[in-house]
Amino acid sequence: MKKILIYAFFLSSLISLWGCKKDTYPGGEISPYIAIYDVRNLYNGHGDVTLNIDNMRGGTSIAAMVVSDHSGGNLPAGLLIVQDARRLSLLRGIAIPLGADAASYVPGDSVIIHVEGAVLKKVDGILQLTGIKNSDIKKVSSGNAVVAMEAASNEMLADPDAYESVLSVIVEGSFDPLPGPDDVLAGDKVLNDGNDNIILHTASDAAFAQQKAIANANYIGILFNTGGTAPQFRIRTAADVEPLSSTIEVAPAVITGFMSDVKGGDGNYEYVQMMAITDIDFAATPFAVVITNNANASTPTGYPTKGWATGEMRTYKFSLSKGKAARGTFFYVGGSGKTINGSGSTSMSNSNWVRAFDYTKNDGDGFGLKTGGLLANSGNAFGIAVFKDSTVTVDSKPVDAIFIATGGSLYSGGKGYRIAKNDFYKVINPRTKVSQPFYRQGTNTRSLSYNTADMGYFNMLGGVYNPGLGKWVKGRVQKNVLLTKTSAITEIEGEGSTVLKTNE
């Protein structure tokens, strides 16, 4: 009872204090700055929008970084291009028509722009903030570092408004077709970065218009919508082209799909589908396919000191030393069951099986212990690699490799699984030029996903490979094809599967 009286006293005292003390909290202040992301979202495509305090929720200005450079004569005349990342750390840009004054600003200028009263409208397809005068812009500082966003062409084409007026980098861009010795940058060129084609536009009177077109480079520039036609990517100056190696390396074979989990028991029914990019006689030029499983219980444990050649329960090898595969055709490696979706399903015995045996009863060719589960169904990462050699050592470099998931002891201090230069991985970082030859090293973090277990999904990897460029011109995309016991071979070799580009 005594405790109750004490609590009641303190409670009544606290209420009294709340009721009598004057509130001195000054309240929050609305920021005068609005993110470009929010400005762009005010435009809904149904007419011009005048910016005011209400629709900008108290904002009156944008604080941004200049990315336009008119010294090269290749950007739309009179447009000041600025960007910021104030909202969700997402870079967004906007074009501001300033006439001749636009050229007085250079990349790295930090500016505050009073935008209250400006009109947001589309002009020649480009979203612009009109009605802003040079006197509305305050230059805060110069010489600042400018962020350029690494952008994939397919993502730019899918959502050009998100990339418009943003300084971006198209990595490892190649012209399709490859440029001849007399080809220059002037005009509209088809640029491919391994994801899709995008138009690189260079004005005929640009300062660098007669610069030689090179086979492989990083391109730093700005995307502009054009109003009804495909968007254009424009570099600003000759320095926006970063040359890379022009050596073309054609992968003789690529991974185009795999069956890691059939309907029912997996043992002896898992397989890997590949495509020959060139005509291959395996007797004359032996290959190898290696599969790695990195479950925590797989031995030897820890990081793979011998890479793909680790053996035991970690890696399993198929040697390909017989048979042939014609250019542009599929071939298979896996269990001797040779069916599309496990026991009792459609036979694939008439397909081109270059190597097939019962891996539940036989060790691998050279290394790897017999196993009831060749390709993992879930958990830590597993990977597949193709080698243009029947001998695989710690130093062997695959001609193609993919990984599913990211977990497990995969890479540490030079110990790991080597990757191939392909649509997933880069042996040398094309931006920093730093070597990164292993999975999970540097930017080599991309992986495919596991499917729901015991359903019979075939993992189709659809893309377009161009041997003339020595690269994927449409990168592989995982398409999960749910098979039945009566599925036809066309379901894994038909629409959506990998295509070899022939019009080189």
Q: How far apart are CA 154 and CA 196, in angstroms?
A: 5
User: 98 lies in a domain?
Assistant: yes
Q: Are 458 and 492 in contact (CB under 8 A)?
A: yes
Sign of torsion, CA 419 420 421 423?
negative
Regarding whether 257 and 232 lie in a shared domain, the answer is no
User: 311 lies in a domain?
Assistant: yes
Instruction: List Cα–Cα distances, 174 to 177, 241, 247, 469, 471, in angstroms.
Output: 8, 12, 12, 8, 9
What CATH number is given to the structural domain containing 195?
Answer: 2.40.50
pLDDT of residue 30: 77
Low-confidence residues in the chain, pLDDT < 50: 1-25, 504
Q: How far apart are CA 190 and CA 177, in angstroms?
A: 8
User: 46 lies in a domain?
Assistant: yes
pLDDT of residue 405: 97
Instruction: List Cα–Cα distances, 233 to 34, 70, 164, in angstroms.
Output: 27, 15, 9
252 closest CA partner among 66, 447, 465, 110: 465
63 closest CA partner among 80, 84, 42: 84
CA 17 to chain centre: 59
User: 285 lies in a domain?
Assistant: yes
Helix (H, G, I), strand (E, B) or coil at 31: coil
Asked which of 86, 107, 141 is the last residue of a domain, the reply is 141
User: 133 lies in a domain?
Assistant: yes
Regarding whether 264 and 167 lie in a shared domain, the answer is no
Burial 183-211 (b: 16+ CB within 10 A, else e): eebbeebebbbbbbbbbbbbbeebebbee
Longest dimension (CA), the chain: 99
User: 25 lies in a domain?
Assistant: no
User: 1 lies in a domain?
Assistant: no
Tokens linked to 44: 């809904």
One-letter amino acid for residue 342 of the chain: G
Residue 418: Cβ within 10 Å count:
20
User: 68 lies in a domain?
Assistant: yes
Model pTM greater than 0.85? yes
Using DSSP bridges, classify how beta strands 79-84 and 137-141 pair: parallel, antiparallel or unpaired. unpaired
Q: How far apart are CA 92 and CA 463, in angstroms?
A: 30
Regarding whether 234 and 128 lie in a shared domain, the answer is no
Regarding whether 206 and 260 lie in a shared domain, the answer is no
DSSP symbols for 54-72:
TTTTT--EEEEEE---GGG
Tokens linked to 37: 């992301």
Instruction: List Cα–Cα distances, 427 to 150, 304, 433, in angstroms.
Output: 18, 18, 10
Regarding whether 504 and 472 lie in a shared domain, the answer is yes
Helix (H, G, I), strand (E, B) or coil at 242: strand
pLDDT of residue 16: 39
Regarding whether 475 and 354 lie in a shared domain, the answer is yes
Q: What is the dihedral of CA 421, 426, 429, 433, to 10 degrees?
A: -10
Q: How far apart are CA 362 and CA 384, in angstroms?
A: 19
Q: How far apart are CA 479 and CA 353, in angstroms?
A: 23
Tokens linked to 293: 């499983």
pLDDT of residue 23: 46
Q: Are 211 and 187 in contact (CB under 8 A)?
A: no
Which of the 8 DSSP states describes residue 323?
Answer: -
Q: How far apart are CA 369 and CA 367, in angstroms?
A: 7
pLDDT of residue 28: 56
Asked which of 105, 121, 141 is the last residue of a domain, the reply is 141
Kindly report, residue by residue over 71-89, the tens digit of the pLDDT: 999 999 999 999 999 999 9
Q: How far apart are CA 456 and CA 347, in angstroms?
A: 15
Regarding whether 413 and 310 lie in a shared domain, the answer is yes
What CATH number is given to the structural domain containing 435?
Answer: 2.60.40.1260
Structural domains of the chain, count: 3
Kindly report, residue by residue over 336-392, the tens digit of the pLDDT: 999 999 999 999 999 999 999 999 999 999 999 999 999 999 999 999 999 999 999
pLDDT of residue 502: 80
